[in-house]
Chains A and B, each alone.
Chain A
Amino acid sequence: MIDVGQLSDGVGLLLNWYMPLVILAGMTLGLMIGVIPGMTAALGLAIVLPLTFQMDALTALILMTSVYTGSLTGGGILAILINTPGTPGAVATTFDGYPMAQTGRANEALGLQIAASAFGGAASYLVLLFFIQPMTKFALQFQSAEMLALTLFVLVVVGVLKGKYLFRSLFAGGIGLLLATVGTVITTGEPRGTMGFGELEDRLPIVLCVIGLFAVPELIQILPRRAISEGEARIRHSASELWQGFRGAFRRWPTLLRGSGIGVAIGILPAAGATLASILSYTLASRLAKHDERFGEGEPKGVVAAESANNASEGGAMAILLALGIPGSASTAVILGGFMLHGLVPGTGLFRDNGPLIYGLILGNIFQMFLLVGVALAVAYFVARIVTVPTTILVPVLTLLLAVGAYSFRGQLFDVYVVFAFGIIGWFCRRYDFTPLSLMIGLFLGSQLDQEMIRVSILYSFEPLSIFERPIAASFFALTAMLIFCRVVTLFRRKKRGAPEHV
């Protein structure tokens, strides 16, 4: 489990005067990047990577993880204030965070979000500290068959979430899956469905698609309003409400713990990450809702569930990076670059050869979460005023930021057009109840589902049924079938009772 000698050496490495300053600088940069739509943690990490050349390994890695943590939390702030997830993992935060902001409870929502983020992050690193070896063993069990089964399971769990009409949600999800497969095929290296656009050969930039899908329709939607929060619901510039929200998250401790658990578990699976974790956590919380809890209309538990899982996925992703050297996302890939740059090779030998440094990194990240509370509350206090800015000036400014953020993603004007094209698609989806969330889930899972299906079809082409001999895959397939069965039974029962149910 824990090597106490190496742990105390790790503490020693952390105890210097400049470490809190490094964390503060990284956290502030990360938060700034997180609150600009289109700017991603990967970009922030790419910016600081050259700055770490002259630093020692621990300081460099602490700086990079601070940027990462800050951007994850910053994405949630934007999600609450303007219904635009600054990072894809913050999508589920919009479901209840934005309705809270619209009804004048933005400060409370931000307090909830920051507390849940910090708790989720700290909990995930604590789990990492004690259980990194079993976590990696568990992750190694997930091969193509298991990933395919898990992807299908997640699709079924969240695919029809929040949809008014079941078949419109399914249709939107299907289109999302198809769109995500556009690009180069892994087996032949041949582009597919790119319509001659070379930029699409690397697949659609999913992060930008998601931001466009949510941000542009929201900008169009809020135009007739004076401000996002208006009339009696006007927000007050109140630190006490922020604090009240912050404490409120801990009063909802079962949701907080459950969200953190889901975040850690999903975070260790490569390519699954924060988005799936937060949406799964939110779905579970809404399914377990009591009668007086109205998820989707400003329920504080929704914010807690989504944000705790979002940040808790960070520890899981880090576990798999440290122990196996597998980056689960673009951001962790840049962090992996940081390890390499300082002569550290993630894998089984990392703990043996650099134990104190790794313990220092984990403890430093736990310490980050405490600093995160202070920095994020200060940023949220000032940024929260955005909901009172007149839409006549807010919308043009945000449009420009969206365009610049999209351009900075890969340095291509094409990406700016992708954002706005998906904005128009998102507007039509929203206008006619095609559930943009289902489209988004499809976009996220499509590429992975396609690749796993190709691998499985190659690996199991001779004995397709042998896929069910793998216990984890078989369990997920069984769970998926059970969920579909339960959904169909519920539909029929409601219809029999005469309750309104859209199909």
Chain B
Amino acid sequence: MRPGLTRAAESCDLPSMFTFATLKKAAGPSLVVVAGLLWAVFYLGSVADNPRHDENALVLIRPLTWLMVPFGLIVIAQAFWNARRGKVDERHGLDEWRRLSYLGGAALFLAALPWLGFLGTGLPFLLIMAWVLGFRRPLPLLSVAVGVGLLFWAGFNIGLDVDLPLLPWAIQ
């Protein structure tokens, strides 16, 4: 057998392709593809099943969704192939405390926004997040908070005439 073919045959060795280590390495891109395809197929189905839509509503999304399926399968196969051959970038993801803290803080900020308004959530978010991330100079921090508050109120609400819901009672 030619060396290239031997290598290919070894790489396609299915049992070794699905070891825990390989699965772990290929999981990221594969999950992105699965999530993307599930949404695309759900989207196509919801349009195709709706009797109020005519064929024109599907003229782009039907062929595109079916085209995405082989593309997605190729991406998954390639992710496993690369994982099997150890060709995966070992980059840091969200497993860094500052990134996780930020995401947690941002999620809380967004969750509270409809109830507390931009100042009611924004200023606590700014003060707590900066402190947690390691900014330990109280006076500059307070100055920045006051500056941001003024920018929202004077800059946006008055200057740019954007009707920002700043405080809880402004939320409708």
Contact = CB atoms under 8 A, between A and B. Distances in A.
Interface string B84-105: 0000010101101011001101
Contact of A431 (B28, B109, B135): B28
Interface string B136-172: 0000110010001000100010001111110000000
B134 to A, nearest CB: 5
B64 A400 contact: no
A178 B61 contact: yes
Could you tell me the dominant secondary structure of chain B's interface residues?
Answer: helix
A205 interface: no
A188 B57 contact: yes
A190 B57 contact: yes
Interface residues of A, number: 55
A420 B57 contact: no
Interface string B43-76: 1001100101110110111001101100110110
Interface string A165-184: 10110110011011001100
B79 to A, nearest CB: 8
A187 B54 contact: yes
Contacts of A407: 118, 162, 164
Contacts of A390: 135
B113 A393 contact: no
A18 interface: no
A398 to B, nearest CB: 11
B57 A192 contact: yes
B68 A393 contact: no
Interface of A: 43, 47, 165, 167-168, 170-171, 174-175, 177-178, 181-182, 185, 187-188, 190, 192-193, 219-220, 223-224, 390-393, 395-397, 399-400, 403-404, 407-408, 411, 413, 416-417, 420, 428-429, 431-434, 446, 449-450, 453-454, 457-458, 503
Interface of B: 28-29, 32-33, 36, 39-40, 43, 46-47, 50, 52-54, 56-57, 59-61, 64-65, 67-68, 71-72, 74-75, 78, 89, 91, 93-94, 96, 98-99, 102-103, 105-106, 109-110, 113-114, 118, 122, 125-126, 129-130, 133-135, 140-141, 144, 148, 152, 156, 160-165
